[in-house]
Amino acid sequence: MSLAKKTSVSLEPSIVAQLDTRGPRSTVINRDLERLYKNPGEKAHRL
Alpha helices per DSSP H over 1-47:
13-22, 25-38
The pLDDT value given to residue 42: 58
Q: Decide if pLDDT at 15 tops 70.
A: yes
pTM higher than 0.85, yes or no? no
SS3 (DSSP) at 1: coil
The pLDDT value given to residue 22: 74
Distance of CA 24 to the CA centre of its chain: 12
23 secondary structure, DSSP code? S
Q: Decide if pLDDT at 46 tops 70.
A: no
Question: Domain segments of the chain: what residues?
Answer: 12-40
pLDDT in tens, 19-43: 778 766 677 777 777 777 776 565 5
